[in-house]
Amino acid sequence: MLAEPEPHSAEELPLYEHYTFVVDAGQSPQRIDQYLAVRLTHLSRSRIQLAIEAGLITINGQPTRPSSKVRPKQVIQVRMPYPPPLELTPEPIPLSIPYEDPYLLVVYKPAGMSCHPGAGVYRGTLLNALLYHLRGQALPATEQNAARPGLVHRIDKDTTGLLVVAKEESAYFGLAKQFFDHSTDRRYYALVWGEPKADDGTITAHIGRDPHDRKRYRAFPRGESGKHAITHWRVVERLRLSTLVECRLETGRTHQIRVHLAHIGHPLVGDATYGGDRPRLPLHSPTQAKLAHELLRYMPRQALHAYRLGFVHPVTGEKLLFEAPLPEDMAQALAFLRSL
């Protein structure tokens, strides 16, 4: 169980997090750094270990060690210092912006571009480009999104597609509410290995950090960990070796489509993180194996494209809908598959 962040006094060191966990009665013994890494997904395990060693994380009010085991009904308190501020530098990076007004803009993010600085990436991000485009205009920020002002949602670095960015505060909160309420229309094209038996379906499985690899997420179909996640999918085109599917998000978890489709046995073509960087189907001949590896040459990244974005304008009330054509690499991969 996780309590709300607690306030701290002015006499204390400046802290941006203060959480209290009460360990469930059925919790099996587990290292405290592993226990917290699954629950504090925005923190690296190494950072959690450093905080433990610095005495910022306690069990029942007492300092502990990263290897200490959590036990049922223990009280774990977490206090973390403010992270160093990220310097957001405007950069003259060309952008494709299909819509812009005084309150918001819709932008197309290409493959290979991170949405915002962080995790060792400080330049060349979408946010760096947006700050240059807006000529110094300040984007709305809250305590929660201070490192990514204006961004109410994100897509992975190697995913292409459409994003909406708030340019002022009323638009930010209006858009954030729509994403929180799951009332936006977000659809993706995904090229997956193999051929699903059904023509459509819904995947319901919690998504959380993989306890064995913090760079990955995993599905928890029984809900034993992670956060509730729902993905609706339908077959668009059945092809040799692969299938083009459309995915509609009901929730917006990190790596949701990639994790959910891999969970049902159809990882995205080219997705190295979730096993799609190698053929994931029976190869009955050397020719078929050659074709499968040729497909991967067309798609060296995960074949995922956020092609549709719809929402209600938070200021004018107008219904807006945008669609982006397939990027060149996915279009070429589909052309190759259709030629077989």
3-state class of 98 per DSSP?
Answer: strand
Beta bridge partner(s), residue 232: 202, 248
Pairing outcome for strands 104-109 and 200-204? unpaired
Q: How many CA atoms lie within 13 A of 297 on its CB side?
A: 7
Strands (E), the chain: 15-22, 30-31, 57-59, 62-63, 69-70, 75-81, 96-100, 104-109, 160-166, 185-193, 200-204, 206-210, 213-220, 230-238, 242-249, 304-312, 319-323
The active-site residue out of 33, 156, 271, 277 is: 156
| 156 catalytic per annotation | yes
Distance CA 213, CA 218 (A): 10
10 Å CB burial of residue 122 (0-12, 13-18, 19+) is middle
Distance CA 131, CA 88 (A): 8
CB 27 within 8 A of CB 70: yes
Active site residues: 156
